Amino acid sequence: MEIGGRIAVIFGGHGFIGSHLARELVNSGKYARVVSADIAPQPRFRTKGVEYTFCDVRLPIPADLAPGVTDIYNLAAVHVTPGPEDWEYYWTNVSGALSVTQYARITKAKTLFFTSSISVYGPSEDEISEFSDPNPESSYGKSKLLAEGIHQSWQLEEPRDRKLVIVRPAVVFGFQERGNFTRLARSLERRAFFYPGRRDTKKACGYVKDLVASFEFARSSEEMLTIYNFAFDEPLTTEGICAAFCRVANLPEPRFTIPISLILLGGLAFELLSKLGLKTSINRARVLKLFRSTNIVPKKLQNDGFVRQFDLAAALRDWRSQSPAGRFE
């Protein structure tokens, strides 16, 4: 493999998306060094050729972290919702944006990627694209929108020389995700999933390998400032996602729909139990996330001609093939 001259630093690189990105950058042969910088002790999975190091983006970043850095990826974030206190989202996501952009200034790096979120739009039954106005409801979405502005300020200081790519991903799934899709897979395997209030909730989502491919696609563009949504071309329904899982894994499809009022009552009960010391991830806010649509479309990628390698079924098969036990891991 011919090794290129780029040097990449991935802040938040030990996480799910970062681990896939680091592997792809190494495999591309375009990078002399790939550094994954994170506060997590271990990456989701290791890739030979990636340098793993500790870094807390809430603090000033050492200028000598990766001398000669050309490409910076800011993936570091507090992103679980609900869960953390409101201030925790701002502390990490906004402070991190300030630290990373200052690091870019000091090192004179010219290319910066920032993973924002579709949470900057808020939930909606109506179709939302990059042409829609942001309307975040959660502290996570609000902090991400502020962070976008900080990154854009960096780019505007030298608009002809600095390239900024802001990605607003929907729910991203794949090997070692350990999030929404993994929990759904486990519920379907246990025959324990039921539809929360409705079956037609639209859920924008996308496969991690296509997300990583979209980074390089955007990098190759002549645009110096690019903002795009990442998801499948058409939002899928909860029922459609479950059906695809069941076809790929040969599982029975869920049959029951539980009224949302009953589920919210159950969520309240779990919240009360949590206050009494029985910790659980079930609460009303998480239930409402399942009930409300995220009808996000990636108009920018569509208009620019980005071609995905995977539809939902192909993505699930690929994910399952990477899992040693043949499950969605």
pLDDT digits (tens, 9 = 90+) for 244-272: 999 999 999 999 998 888 878 877 877 78
Task: Assign 280 a pLDDT band (cuts: 50, 70, 90).
Answer: low
SS3 43: coil
Q: Pick the residue with more confidence: 222 or 283?
A: 222
Residue 102: pLDDT band by 50, 70, 90 thresholds? very high
Does residue 184 belong to any structural domain of this protein?
Answer: no
> Is 1's pLDDT higher than 50?
no
Q: Domain limits at 215? A: 6-176+205-235+294-310
pLDDT at 44: 96
Q: Give the Å distances, CA to CA, from 193 to 38, 187, 235, 258.
A: 34, 5, 21, 10
Residue 59 belongs to some domain of the structure: yes
In whole angstroms, give the CA distance from residue 103 to residue 66. 11
The predicted-structure confidence for 19-63, as pLDDT tens digits, reads as follows 999 999 999 999 999 999 999 999 999 999 999 999 999 999 999
157 inside domain: yes
Q: What is the pLDDT of residue 268?
A: 80
Identify whether the C-beta of residue 3 lies closer than 8 Å to the C-beta of residue 12: no
> Which one-letter DSSP state was computed for residue 120?
G
Let me know if residue 96 belongs to a domain.
Answer: yes
Angle between helices 312-322 and 238-249 in degrees, nearest 10: 50
Residue 277: Cβ-neighbour burial (10 angstroms; 0-12, 13-18, 19+):
exposed
Please tell me the predicted confidence (pLDDT) of residue 234. 87
In a domain, 272, yes or no: no
The chain-wide mean pLDDT, for the chain, equals 93
Residue 189 domain flag: no
User: If you average pLDDT over residues 298-307, what whole number do you get?
Assistant: 98
d(CA 121, CA 129): 9
Checking if the pLDDT of 80 tops 80, the result is no
With beta carbons less than 8 A apart as the criterion, state whether 83 and 285 touch.
no
**pLDDT, tens digit, for every residue of 212-243?**
999 999 999 999 999 999 999 988 999 999 99
pLDDT class of 88 with cuts at 50, 70, 90 = very high
pLDDT: which is higher, 125 or 174: 174
pLDDT at residue 323 tops 80: yes
Q: Please write the tens of the pLDDT for every residue from 174-197.
A: 999 999 999 999 999 999 998 988
- Is 42 part of a structural domain of the chain? yes
CATH of the domain at 80: 3.40.50.720
Least confident of 168-172, 290-294, 301-305: 290-294
Count of CB atoms within 10 A of residue 139's CB? 20
Q: Using the 8-state DSSP alphabet, how is residue 172 labeled?
A: E
Per the structure, the count of domains in the chain is 1
In a domain, 260, yes or no: no
Q: What is the mean pLDDT of residues 289-313?
A: 94
Taking the whole predicted model, whether its pTM rises above 0.85 is answered as yes
pLDDT at res. 3? 63
